[in-house]
A and B are shown apart, each in its own frame.
Chain A
Amino acid sequence: MFKKVLIANRGEIAVRVIRACKEWGIGTVAVHSDVDADSMHVRLADESVCIGSHQPQNSYLNIAAIMSAVDVTGAEAIHPGYGFLSENYKFAEIVEKHKIKFIGPKAEIIKKMGDKIQAKIIAKEKGLPVIEGSDGGVKDLKQAKEICKKIGYPVLIKASGGGGGKGMKIVDDENKLSEMYSLARLEAKKYFGNDEVYIEKYFKNPRHIEVQVLSGKNRTVHLNERDCSVQRKHQKLIEETPSPVLDDKVRSDLLDKTVKMVEAIGYEGAGTVEYIYENGKFYFLEMNTRIQVEHPVTEVQTGIDIVKEQIWIAHSGQTALKQDDISARGHTIECRINAEDPSKNFQPSPGIISVCHQPSGFRTRVDGSIFQGCKITPYYDSLICKLICKGRNRTEAIQRTMRSLNEFVIEGVTTTIDLHKRILSHEKFVSSEFDTNWLAKEKFY
């Protein structure tokens, strides 16, 4: 096993990875920006190195500084967490070139699956249903018109190099196409430096369903699906497993096809394949070649420590898990606690946490990096912790999550805790009649 791992991240995921390393007796190196010097991941790690100033490009995205920290501390592997450099294939390449193990798939796989157009081609080749559309970049308006006619309106125009909902345009009919097409290209150029766009069928009531996989040279296993359809601004807010809307036949088809695709591309590590689900059918959306924020939902449900498995695969090249050994029982829900004000359109709410009481109790887990007196700076993501609760069934999981949310006390910053209580007691959530657009349409305040 590795003697020392450097965690190239911050916040709750850095803490999560440090915990996994500690349980395995692996030394840990935290890197941090100047403003993060007092944060939890720095306090928990065995060693820490300041790698730059508050702006991410000077610190957590600063490859040279991170490699220097590896050199100084003698770390043997790097865990990239999520966000920042986790899906940067150039970083993975540089790390490998220096004979340091990148805890994740090979650079070449990250590159392939990170390019949305190429990923879609691969997924289709390997037997996954994909969203009908342009099958690649659209050359001009004429071609755009033809494609839209074929797949039918409404359609969605997306940036090839994009993500996070930026540069996406919905077109309801052909009259709007010309205008939206040039607008999407303009935004794509602006945000991602590449004006290539592609066209897809637009879904009116989509659910977001994803499959967690762990894959080594020997085999690929799945850890069932997660339903992440409660979203705000295209970002997940609540995740649960199993999905309340899948029937057994569709579920086993989904899981089977996912495992086959992941195995076929020679994937190594933990990964997630994301799908859109509507009217009984699922369509490949993208693959995340890293650990995800919502991985604890699956951990609590299956009893498998995904981060430890990830490190094991990085070390040995193989997964120790067999599909038959993995059994998911009951129902698990995760609520993301963000420092933002849901009553003010999720306006960021940085500040100092003056009071912090986190819930506990039977089948209640909190993953986070907060403590009384800690500073939530405005420089990074608003996610401060996650609450994960398991029940025998969905009803009990909701009750337990509610009970835990009511125990939660965070003062000094405004959080999404109150919104979670409102969502969980909403009849549409309880009856699971919602899609990814629900939160934006429903009035909670």
Chain B
Amino acid sequence: MKIDKKLIKELKDYLDEFNLSEIEYQDGTKKVKVAKNISGITNITAHKPNIPPKKEESGTKITSPIIGTAYLAPEPGGKKFVEVGSQIKKGQTVMIVEAMKTMNHVPSTSDGIVKKVLVQDGEAVEFGQTLVLLK
């Protein structure tokens, strides 16, 4: 097959004129494809996102037994069940989760010191959501 240099030249002009990166032309059985090397694209290498892997907070998790509203104190404005730094015992109430007007006391699953309280008073919580972290 004879290479039609003129056609390639013409197609290249179109590439520049319309700011394309690739053009294909077919006439009967004859097919010509012209593409140009675009540095901006070819040179991109995939970077690993520079976010440190999510570190699972260490400690014993106390999770919500039910979906509902979490309360940190037995009554509005009352003394909180636990604070960060409190020494607590297994079975001690750390929070109340209200579901359909039923107050569900959330007991601590082990002895320990409260490292973090992960929800706010009055916040909606899901089933299994970590409420308190013990160290």
A381 to B122, CA, bound (A): 17
For residue B74, CB closer than 8 A to chain A, the reply is: yes
- Contact of B69 with A382 in the complex, beta carbons under 8 Å: no
User: A382–B75 contact, CB under 8 A?
Assistant: no
Are B100 and A381 in contact (CB-based, < 8 A)? yes
Please count how many residues in chain B sit with their CB below 8 Å of the partner chain's CB atoms. 13
Which residues in window 401-418 of A have CB below 8 A to B?
none
Nearest A-chain residue to B65, judged by Cβ: A347
Which of A190, A339, A348 has the most chain B CB atoms closer than 10 A to its own CB?
A: A348
From B102, B122, B124, A348 is in contact (CB under 8 Å) with B102
Asked whether A379 lies within 8 Å of B102 as measured between CB atoms, the reply is: no
A378 and B74 contact, Cβ closer than 8 Å, known pairs A54-B69, A54-B124, A350-B67: no
Report the bound CA distance from A182 to B122 in whole Å.
30
Looking at B66, B99, B100, which has the most chain A CB atoms within 10 Å of its CB?
Answer: B100
Q: How far is the CB of B68 from chain A (nearest CB, A)?
A: 4
At the interface, yes or no: A55 with Cβ under 8 Å from chain B? yes
Which residues of A sit under 8 angstroms from B102, Cβ to Cβ?
A: 347-348
Assembly CA distance A339 to B102 (angstroms): 12
CB of A399 to closest CB in B, whole Å = 31
Q: In the complex, how many angstroms separate the beta carbon of B76 from the nearest chain A beta carbon?
A: 8
Instruction: Please provide the chain B residues from 67 to 82 with a CB less than 8 Å away from any CB of chain A in the complex.
Output: 67-69, 74-75
Is A24 in the interface zone, CB < 8 Å from B?
A: no
The listed residue (B74, B75, B100, B122) touching A350 by CB distance below 8 A is B100
Chain B residues in 8 Å Cβ range of A190: 74-75
Instruction: Report if B101 contacts A (CB, 8 A).
Output: yes
Tell me whether A382 and B100 are in contact (CB under 8 A).
Answer: yes
A378 CB contacts on chain B under 8 angstroms: 66-69, 98-100
Do B75 and A348 touch (CB < 8 A)?
no
| Chain B residues positioned under 8 Å from A348 (CB to CB) | 66, 68, 99-100, 102
Query: Complex Cα distance A424/B69, Å?
Result: 35
A312 to B73, CA, bound (A): 45
Give the shortest distance, in Å, between B65 (CB) and chain A (any CB): 9
Contacting residues, chain B, for A196 (C-beta < 8 A): none
Shortest Cβ gap from A335 to chain B (Å): 18
Residues of the B chain whose Cβ atoms lie less than 8 Å from the Cβ of A380:
100-101
Q: Measured between C-beta atoms, what is the minimum distance from A331 to chain B in Å?
A: 31
A340 at interface, CB cutoff 8 A: yes
Which chain B residue has the least Cβ–Cβ distance from A346?
A: B102
Q: How far is the CB of A381 from chain B (nearest CB, A)?
A: 6
Q: How far is the CA of A341 from the CA of B66 in the complex (A)?
A: 13
Cβ contacts A365-393/B at 8 Å (1 or 0 each) = 00000000000001111100000000000
Quick check: B101 and A350 within 8 Å, CB to CB? no
Q: State the CA gap A413–B61 with chains docked (Å).
A: 28
Min distance, Cβ A424 to any Cβ of chain B, angstroms: 24
Contact status A55-B122, CB under 8 Å: yes
Contact in complex: A379, B74 (CB < 8 Å): no
Tell which of A55, A340, A348, A378 has the most Cβ of chain B within 10 Å: A378
In the bound assembly, the distance between CA atoms of A368 and B93 in angstroms comes to: 36
Q: Are A339 and B100 in contact (CB under 8 A)?
A: yes
A55 CB contacts on chain B under 8 angstroms: 69, 122
CB neighbours of B101 from chain A (8 A): 380-382
Of all chain B residues, the one with the shortest Cβ separation from A350 is B67
Residues of B whose CB lies within 8 Å of any CB of A are 66-69, 74-75, 98-102, 122, 124
Top-4 shortest CB links A-B: A348-B100, A378-B99, A382-B100, A348-B99
Told that A340-B100, A347-B66, A378-B99 touch, could you supply 14 new A-B pairs with CB distance under 8 A?
A54-B69, A190-B74, A339-B100, A348-B68, A348-B100, A350-B99, A378-B67, A378-B68, A378-B69, A378-B98, A379-B69, A379-B124, A380-B101, A381-B100
On A, residues with C-beta under 8 Å from B are 54-55, 190, 339-340, 347-348, 350, 378-382
Pairs A–B under 8 Å by Cβ, sample size 18: A55-B69, A55-B122, A339-B100, A347-B66, A347-B102, A348-B66, A348-B102, A350-B99, A350-B100, A378-B67, A378-B100, A379-B68, A379-B100, A380-B100, A380-B101, A381-B100, A382-B100, A382-B101
